[in-house]
Amino acid sequence: MGTGENDQALRKILDMTRLISVAVLLLHFYRECYGAFVAWHLASGLTDRLMVNVVATGLFSSFLNPKLISLVFLMIALIGVKGRKDEKQTWKTAVLYIATGLILFLTSYLALSVKEKAQTVALAYMALTGSGYLLILSGGTMLSRIIRDRLAGDIFNRDQETFPQEERLLENEFSVNLPTTYVLKGKIRNGWINLINLFRALVVLGSPGSGKSYFIIRHVITQHIRKGFAMFVYDFKMPDLAVIAYNTWLKYKKDYEVQPKFYSINFDDLSRSHRCNPLDPSAMLDLTDAVESARTILLGLNREWIKKQGDFFVESPINFLTAIIWYLRKYKDGKFCTLPHVIELMQADYDSLFTLLGTQKEIDLLINPFISAYKRDAVEQLEGQIASAKITMARIASPQLYYVLSGNEFTLDINDPAAPKIVCMGNNPQKIQVYGAVLSLFTNRLLKIINQKNKLKCSLVFDEFPTLTTDIIPTISTGRSNLISTTLGIQDASQLRKDYGREQADVIMNIVGNMAVGQVSGDTAKLVSEKIGRIMQERESLSINRNDTSISRSRQLEAAVPPSRIAALSSGEFVGLVADNPDCKIELKAYHGEIVNDHEALKKEIDSYKPLPEIKKINPAVVERNYLDIKKDIKNIIELEMERLLSDPSLSHLIIRKR
């Protein structure tokens, strides 16, 4: 700790050093300009004898020696100078003063070669040398007044909000690896986002245009197909991602042990769509499968019901639809168990409908409340229970949907080792509510079928996941052991909360192990910033008063990527976290960088893509005939069953007629 005595002693030493520097310079002037000093009557015997003694020491053995010695003492004196800090003082000005002073101080000898009077030459030499000396003194003093504010030029604190990131390429048979560039303390470095364990799920967040599909999702598709994954792709804007999957499949399908087949579902272009029955009876093993299917389709068509599950007027339609699905599943071993047949059977009159449903003992508990209300003539209650389901399901009663949903060209067991598949299903932003509900049914059935032991590794990719009503949580939680990779594309966490409710949305956001976040704002940005955590950052504070200006530095933990930075990310710039494996630890899990895409190569690749193939020519008459055949099937079922019951006295009691 400094004391007043120490400061006073230091000042005396500095003053003495500066005085020695000036004295040496004056002796140099006296010797080199002796003739001028004589002319000015400033020479004396005393000074001459003193000069002779000094010369004898060797100080003036060369012309530059005394000047350099004077300069050295001046530098020593300047080292200990503590000038009053000035925030406006800059290095540039101080260095300019010192450089100019050195030039004048060291080149002033040229004035001695001028052929003029001795007095004139001496004055010119001493003026130039003295000016140089004073400029060096002023520049050195300025250096001591400069505030070393290392953060002054970093007004957004970008240099402090950087941290070391993974620069190794860590690859395995399941990984997706994305090259990046990132900034560390002002220097651009190369790194890698190593998604080595996507079985712990990946959520890709970002507002429209942030680059979710172009920079991340497309690479998940291409790298996983290249590594032999079965795949399901939900393509919100069909066929953007489907084309990528199809062409990658064409390129790498021969590398699979069993060559996979490619299937697509496209409700807008039937010629490029395969047909698939999401209520395939072979995969509907018990009543709970029917319950899940009914819940999925109704919640998909009525998104507000998601937040009201458990209410009487939500559960009643679900039970009603469940009963119809299970009846068709049991009738003739599921020959007519398709969603179009379910919709048509729902429209039957109550006498016939309840009579048919009453023949299946497994659904007695489900339909008894409806039959009781019907017999008691509780029309308002019955319509409240059933009409919402009938009206809702009528939205998807179109010939095009009936055509796709009533066929059975492939099954949803995409990860069957003996018959792997790559399946793409497309939505249409203009028809989200209708198509989304049907596709939700497909995805829910698929998730239950594939989540089994001893299956092929498979990758699930959902673009704009909130447009589906899919219960993805069990798959994320338990699918890891069954080699199921899940990628969810979401614009914002608030979008997920809006469609799924806060509790379910928070569970999804919290259980995923990998996160890639582009430009988002609000609560989502805060959530991501907290997940990434804090780093040690330097802080500086500037204090100015009448007598002194000082700067204080401290170190404290601050957000590595604050919400404001996340809200201002550029397209292709992502922050996030990666999950690791027990056998491959990743210490630097957090990242903040720009994903490197070879835009020219990707453009050429996209230009060379083949469109989705035309599967068959579709005649509108065929679609219409299929639509009418389904209606006819239901009519025949009702007529045959009613006739069977009427002709058998032991079954006639099952016939329900309103009194």
SS (H, E, C) 368-392: HHHHHHHHCCCHHHHHHHHHHHHHH
CA 216, chain centre distance (Å): 9
Mean pLDDT for the stretch of residues 407-422: 94
- Confidence check: pLDDT of 102 > 90: no
> Is the predicted pLDDT of residue 571 greater than 90, yes or no?
yes
What pLDDT, on the 0 to 100 scale, is given for residue 529? Answer: 94
Closest CA to 391 of 271, 288, 301: 301
Q: Which residue has the higher pLDDT, 222 or 79?
A: 222
Question: How large is the average pLDDT for residues 52-57?
Answer: 76
Inform me whether the pLDDT recorded for 1 exceeds 50.
no
- Residues with Cβ within 8 Å of 402's Cβ and at least 6 positions away in sequence, in order, are 340, 623, 626, 627, 630
Domains and CATH numbers, the chain: 4-145 (no CATH), 149-257+415-598 (3.40.50.300), 277-408+619-659 (no CATH)
Q: What are phi and psi of 235, to 5 degrees?
A: -105, 105
What per-residue confidence (pLDDT) applies to 458?
Answer: 96
Distances (CA, A) of 143 to 75, 82, 548: 12, 9, 15
Q: What is the pTM of this model?
A: 0.79
Cα distances (Å, whole numbers) of residue 270 to 247, 274, 412, 434, 529: 20, 8, 19, 16, 45
At 114-155, the pLDDT tens digits run 777 878 888 888 888 888 888 888 888 877 766 555 545 566
Query: Would you say residue 165 has pLDDT above 80?
Result: yes
Q: What does the pLDDT read at residue 150?
A: 53
**493 Cβ contact list (under 8 Å, min separation 6):** 205, 505, 509, 520, 523, 524, 527
Q: Residue 197: its pLDDT value, please? A: 94
- Please state the rounded mean pLDDT for residues 43-62: 76
**Average pLDDT score over residue span 209-221:** 95
Nearest Cα to Cα of residue 396 among 442, 333, 334: 442
Residue 147: the pLDDT is 57
Q: Which residues contact 268 (CB under 8 A, 6 or more apart)?
A: 238, 426, 428
**More confident site: 56 or 100:** 100
The CA distance from 593 to 575, in Å, is 7
Higher pLDDT, 516 or 27: 516
Helices (H), 146-277: 212, 218-226, 240-252
Is residue 276's pLDDT more than 70? yes
- Percent of the chain's residues with pLDDT above 90: 49
pLDDT band at 549 (very low <50, low <70, confident <90, very high): low
- Give the position of tokens 């398709």: 338
Q: Give alpha helix (H) positions in 395-488.
A: 399-405, 432-450, 473-478
Q: What pLDDT does residue 10 have? A: 74
What pLDDT is stored for residue 146 in this prediction? 67
Give the pairing of strands 458-462 and 261-265.
unpaired
* Cα 306 to the center of its chain, rounded Å: 27
- Residue bearing the bigger pLDDT, 169 or 85: 169
Residue 281's SS3 state is helix
Of residues 5 and 485, the one with the higher pLDDT is: 485
- Of 450-454, 516-520, 543-547, the one with minimum mean pLDDT is 543-547
> pLDDT band for position 486 (50/70/90)?
very high
Q: Which residue has the higher pLDDT, 276 or 368?
A: 276
pLDDT band for 545, please (50, 70, 90 cuts).
low
* Segment 53-74 mean pLDDT: 79
Interval 546-554 mean pLDDT: 68
Question: In this model, does residue 245 exceed pLDDT 90?
Answer: yes
**Mean pLDDT along residues 143-172:** 75
Residue 645 pLDDT class (50, 70, 90 cuts): confident
Output the pLDDT for position 151: 47
Distance CA(315)–CA(321), nearest Å, equals 10
pLDDT band at 380 (very low <50, low <70, confident <90, very high): confident
Mean pLDDT of the chain: 87
pLDDT tens readout for residues 586-622: 999 999 999 999 999 999 999 999 999 999 998 999 9
User: pLDDT tens for residues 3-41?
Assistant: 555 667 777 887 888 888 888 888 878 777 877 777 887
For residue 114, the model assigns a pLDDT of 79
Residues of the chain with pLDDT > 70, as a percent, come to 93
Q: Is 528 helix (H, G, I), strand (E, B) or coil?
A: helix
* Residue 429 pLDDT level (bands cut at 50, 70, 90): confident
Q: How far apart are the first and last CA of the chain?
A: 105
Residue 414 has pLDDT above 80, yes or no: yes
> Mean of the pLDDT values across residues 503-510?
92
pLDDT score recorded for residue 51: 77
| pLDDT tens digits, 279-301 | 999 888 899 999 999 999 988 88
Look at residue 420 in the predicted model and tell me its pLDDT.
Answer: 96
Q: Is the pLDDT of residue 2 over 80?
A: no
Give the residue from 207, 209, 218 showing the smallest Cα distance to 176: 218
Q: Is 82's pLDDT higher than 70?
A: no
Q: For residue 550, what pLDDT is reported?
A: 67
Beta-sheet pairing, 534-544 with 514-517? unpaired
